[in-house]
Amino acid sequence: MKARSIAHWLVLAALGLFGGVAVAGDRITQVTQQPSVLYHNYCSVCHGDKGDGKSRASGSLSTVPRDFTNEASKRELSRERIALAIAHGRPGTAMVGWKTQLSDNDINRLAEYVYATFVQGMGPIAVGPISGTRAHGGREADAASTSTRVDMTAGLPNGLKGDSKRGGAFYLANCATCHGARGDGAGPRAYFINPKPRNFVEDASRARLNRLALYAAVSEGKLGTEMPAWKHVSTNQQMADVAEYVFQSFIQGNTPPVQAAKGR
């Protein structure tokens, strides 16, 4: 049997694992599943349960499945790129597009799961139901969070060291208008934004947002929200600085937030 035929059979077998599927025209709809379940049913057959490309199918495929945990993936992959690959596949590989089987929302949730769990190495996360109001950073994920403990001592990526003072100035100039000067998600623009900006001082944020997660959110932005990817307009050091400031001032509450100058 040719590798392509084996890969096709494995994809069909993976779909067979998924319960509650209903066909509507050419599109398959299903009851909303946690992204960990979506990953198991659609991705692990090739990419492995640990996201390292080591699976029962890898030896039969014409191209080696992506290892989400290696250094190349950490350098190259973003949530947006992962979402595009899930939706449209990867030409010249065994990676097929799932846009006819998964909703746009589930694709985005699955991309976030792969990025956070394997690329960023944060361990298993839960992303909650797709209905309701979402917030920058995934407030719906907080409501359905697992017992997995986040390492709050983890540093910034690539050996970066953040400067909280510089980060405070950056935050006040660029972030406070949405997230608020106190980090409570109540900035002057927040009223007009849906989904609402992240509240950094609520318990859910303080339980799961370490420096690594904050840097990733600043760098890559957030799909489906007004949170932009600052990597396109800022330096790595600037993003490290603002991540450090948010972590120290709002997540840990160790330093008072910066205040806008009078008359500003």
Instruction: Note the pLDDT tens digit of each residue in 143-157.
Output: 333 344 678 888 888
Any idea of the CA torsion for 81, 187, 233, 163, to the nearest 10 degrees? -100
The single-letter code of the amino acid at 169 is A
183: alpha, beta or left, given left = phi > 0 and alpha = psi -120 to 50? Answer: left
Residue-averaged pLDDT of the chain = 77
What would the two tokens of residue 69 be? 């945990």
Q: Is the dihedral of CA 57, 59, 62, 67 positive or negative?
A: positive
Is the domain of 61 the same as that of 180? no
In a domain, 77, yes or no: yes
Q: Which of 131, 147, 170 is the last residue of a domain?
A: 131
Is the domain of 112 the same as that of 210? no
Whole-number Å distance between alpha carbons of 220 and 218: 6
Q: The domain spanning residue 119 has which CATH number?
A: 1.10.760.10
Is the domain of 162 the same as that of 126? no
pTM attached to this predicted model: 0.51
Instruction: Note the pLDDT tens digit of each residue in 98-142.
Output: 888 888 888 999 999 999 999 988 865 544 443 333 444 444 334
Phi (first) and psi of residue 193, to 5 degrees: -105, 135
Is the domain of 88 the same as that of 162? no
Instruction: Note the pLDDT tens digit of each residue in 41-53.
Output: 888 888 988 999 8
Looking at the structure of the chain, the number of domains it has is 2
Q: Is beta strand 27-30 parallel, antiparallel or unpaired with respect to 21-24? A: antiparallel
Q: What share of the chain is helix, strand, coil (3-state, %, to 5)?
A: 45, 5, 50
Is the domain of 85 the same as that of 195? no
| C-beta of residue 241 within 8 angstroms of C-beta of residue 192 | no
Is the domain of 180 the same as that of 83? no
Is the domain of 97 the same as that of 191? no
Domain containing residue 166: 157-251
| C-beta of residue 234 within 8 angstroms of C-beta of residue 171 | no
Is the domain of 23 the same as that of 105? yes
